[in-house]
Structure formats: structure tokens, C-alpha cells
Amino acid sequence: MVDRLEIVSPTDNKRPVSVLCLITALIGGGAEMMLYRLMSCLDRTKFRPQVISMMELGPVAEKISGLGIPVRSLGMQQGKPNPLALFRLVRWLKQDKPDVIQTWMYHADLLGSLAARLVGNIPVSWNIRHSTLSHTDSKRLTHITARLCARLSYRSPRKIVCCSESAREVHTALGYAADKMLVIPNGYDLDKFKSDPVARRSMRTMLGIPQAAPVIGMIARFDPQKDHRNFLRAAGILHREMPEAHFVLCGEEITAENPHLQKWMGEAGIESRCHLLGRRTDIPQVNSMFDVASLSSAFGEAFPNVVAEAMSCEIPCVVTDVGDAARIVGDTGLIVPPHDSVKLANAWHTMLQFSNQEWRRRGKAARQLVMDQYSLSQIVPRYEHLFDELARGYSIEQRPSSWRAYVRD
């Protein structure tokens, strides 16, 4: 008869836990940058990570690869399902034998779960990054995939990580398995994002902005979600009250060649006060020149990185009430409804009317809030605990090859 069952897990024999992260793409964006920050801080004596992108490799892939972490692509194209990619992923899983799969975003959640089941039910944790999912705001394939994941959520993932409370609420209502959900917000490098008076002066000088001029800034790619039209309409309203104010925008496709931005700036009458910087890699320095950092998004935000990054640089924020933006800002900034250019402009005006002492107080309070709740030192251990927990469960429940049982008569 079986008298004793000895179970060996990756954590018992001190072998690093092998963590495979599957993500839709590695070009840019909040999820990709959070993955990079996680990979940069993960304890490599306890965890052995690798990253697979469903689509092409990009700048974030280079950053992760620079950490000495293997990065590969399945070679998929956006909007084109490819069954061969599933079999390629299955082959890689059989070769690498990861202890845990952490997927990022709907399409990776679905593909990773299917591949894990075909290989032998490797434990999977999903990562949800959306806070809205309407037919008007989401692509049709994304909407279909999210609905499929809702049904699959009761069978496949061991855990479902939501990056915000709003994401958890929305997906619970959508039918996802609520008992598997936990919230792990984004984390930030406070050594990188901090107040920088030298950068403030040099950035303003480079753009020809007077040192004493009010500057409103927003860092966001050009996308309907970000609602740049709302921002520029509000800028036009504020310009009539404060003609000395300048407006700085940067992000993918935020250039003078963008006809939409040119049209909206012209309608607002602020061409001479608007600075379009395009995609930048010096985001902490860009933040430092702002007096107010703003978010004008209309929908879809879950945990907007740009808000917490600006707060880390001691810049007070004015944000639209989307996703967890209001929760992040707390009482350090101002909140307005989406789609309301007048209220957005009025909030900027209110913030700019604060005394220097009040402005500094809000900025320092904003950084302290991020330090207390969203620093990488707070967030990375939560992922490490999750991976360790999943690896232990995997060894007990799913890997009979790692069990050693002996029979004593």
C-alpha cells in the first residue's frame, strides 16, 4: 500500500521557477512597459523568465532582451488568426517545460490557455488590461476574444490578474470567474521618475517656452481612446483665458505631419502654442517641464501609466474619470468627466491658479502616494508570490513526473 507521497516542487529543490510570459506584441504601450519593468526587477535567483510575443518584436523586445532574458516571436499578424502559431507555441512549451505561464491581454490569454492545455495543463495566469469593452470602443475580434475568455475563465486560468479595480469590476460583470481575480496594479521606478529642475529648464529652453509660462502636457499615442480632440478643444478654451499658456503633446503619431492634429489645433487657434514631440524615450525629462500633466481619455483606460509617472515626477494631474485614473490621483489632482472640454479647461485653470506652495504640496503628495502604493518594490513581490504559488500548485497537481512515491509494506 502507498504509505507516503513525497512531492518535489521547483521551490523545494531551490531550482528557479521557469516563468514564460506570453504577450500580444512588444512595440509599446502600458502592458508592454509593465512587463519590461517586472522583468527588470524579478529576482533572477528564484525565477527564470522568458518572453514570447504573438506578433512582431519591437522596441520593448529590445529592452527586455537587453536584460539577458530570451525573447521570441510567433510571427502572427494583427487581425489574422494563425493556427500554425498555436502549434509553434505548443512545440516551444514542450521544449522549454515552463513551470508557469503568465499571459498578457485577451488574445494571449486565449492562445496561452489552449497551448497549455495541449501540452499538459501548465498553470496559467491571465493579465487583464482593459476597463471597458463595448462594441463601439473595442475592435470586433477583441470583443469576440474577450467573450470567449469569459467562458474559458472557469476552466483554464488558475488566477486572473487585473491591473485595476475598474478592470476587475467590468470583467466580473462580463462573466469572468470572479473568485480567481486579484488586482495587482502597475508599478513604477521612482529612481527614474522623479523631480528634475535641470530637465525642466533645458526642455523648455529647447522648445522655446519661457521658463515662467504655464505648461499643460499629455503623453499619449494618437488613438481615439486618448481623445486628443478633447484635449485640444480644452486648450483652445484655456488659451482665451491664458494666452501665455503652452501645450505639449508627445507619443506615437503626435507629429506635425498628423492632419487630424493640425486641423484641431487650427480650429482651437493654438498652433503657435502647441508643441508636438512625437515618440520620446526621455519621458521623465518631458514630464519635468509640465506644470500640469493631463489625461483626456474618453474610454478604455485601466491603469494609465502616464498618470502615475507624472505624479512620481511631482507633477499634479488633471485627468478624466476613466478606469482607475481617479483612484490613482486621489486628492492630489483634479478629476473631470470624459468628453467635456469646458470642464477640462476649467480644471487646468484652477490648478494653474494655485500658489507655488500649494502646487508643490500637491506634487510631493502625488509622489508619496505612488511611493506608498505603486512603487516597483511594492508590486514586484506580489507577482513573485503569484508565480511561486502557481509553481507549487503545478508540482502538486499537474506534474506526476516530479512526484516520488515509495511503497512500504
Q: Over 70: is that where the pLDDT of 355 sits? A: yes
Q: Over 60: is that where the pLDDT of 408 sits? A: no
- What is the pLDDT, as a whole number, of residue 142? 82
CB of 120 within 8 A of CB of 130? no
Angle of the 140-152 helix axis to the 165-174 helix axis, nearest 10:
80
**Residues 112 and 211 reside in one and the same domain:** no
Mean pLDDT (whole number) for 119-129: 93
**Residues 325 and 388 reside in one and the same domain:** no
pLDDT band at 12 (very low <50, low <70, confident <90, very high): low
Q: Over 60: is that where the pLDDT of 11 sits? A: no
**Residues 364 and 236 reside in one and the same domain:** yes
Please give the order of strands across the beta sheet that includes 17-23.
71-73, 47-53, 17-23, 100-104, 124-128, 159-162, 181-183
**Residues 326 and 272 reside in one and the same domain:** yes
pLDDT band at 4 (very low <50, low <70, confident <90, very high): very low
Mean pLDDT (whole number) for 61-70: 97
Which grid coordinates are listed for 242? Answer: 491664458
**Residues 362 and 386 reside in one and the same domain:** no
Mean pLDDT (whole number) for 367-388: 97
How confident is the prediction for the chain on average, in pLDDT?
A: 90
**Residues 88 and 179 reside in one and the same domain:** yes
Give the span between the Cα atoms of 27 and 223, in whole angstroms: 15
Structure confidence by residue, pLDDT tens digits, 24-55: 999 888 899 999 999 999 999 999 999 999 99
Q: Within a domain: residue 210?
A: yes
Helix (H, G, I), strand (E, B), or coil: what is residue 407? strand
- What is the pLDDT, as a whole number, of residue 394? 58
Q: Within a domain: residue 16?
A: yes
**Residues 222 and 359 reside in one and the same domain:** yes
For 26, which DSSP code?
A: B
Structure confidence by residue, pLDDT tens digits, 90-122: 999 999 999 999 999 999 999 999 999 999 879
Q: Over 50: is that where the pLDDT of 302 sits? A: yes
- What is the pLDDT, as a whole number, of residue 10? 52
**Residues 158 and 68 reside in one and the same domain:** yes
Residue 212 belongs to what domain range? 197-373
Our count of domains for the chain comes to 2
Q: What is the DSSP string of 199-261?
A: HHHHHHHHHT--TTS-EEEEE--S-GGG-HHHHHHHHHHHHHH-TT-EEEEESTT-STT-HHH
Q: Within a domain: residue 192?
A: no
Structure confidence by residue, pLDDT tens digits, 237-272: 999 999 999 999 999 999 999 999 999 999 999 999
**Residues 97 and 176 reside in one and the same domain:** yes
Q: How many residues does the chain have?
A: 409
Q: Within a domain: residue 29?
A: yes
**Residues 403 and 346 reside in one and the same domain:** no
pLDDT band at 386 (very low <50, low <70, confident <90, very high): very high
Q: Within a domain: residue 135?
A: yes
CATH number of the domain within which 308 lies = 3.40.50.2000
**Residues 162 and 206 reside in one and the same domain:** no
CB of 32 within 8 A of CB of 23? yes
- How far from the centroid of its chain's Cα atoms is residue 328's Cα? 13
pLDDT band at 393 (very low <50, low <70, confident <90, very high): confident
Q: Within a domain: residue 121?
A: yes
- What is the pLDDT, as a whole number, of residue 153? 95
Mean pLDDT (whole number) for 359-368: 98
- What is the pLDDT, as a whole number, of residue 134? 55
Residues contacting residue 260 through CB under 8 Å, at least 6 positions apart: 222, 228, 229
Which grid coordinates are listed for 68? Answer: 539577458
**Residues 270 and 339 reside in one and the same domain:** yes
Backbone angles phi and psi of 245, in degrees to 5: -70, 145
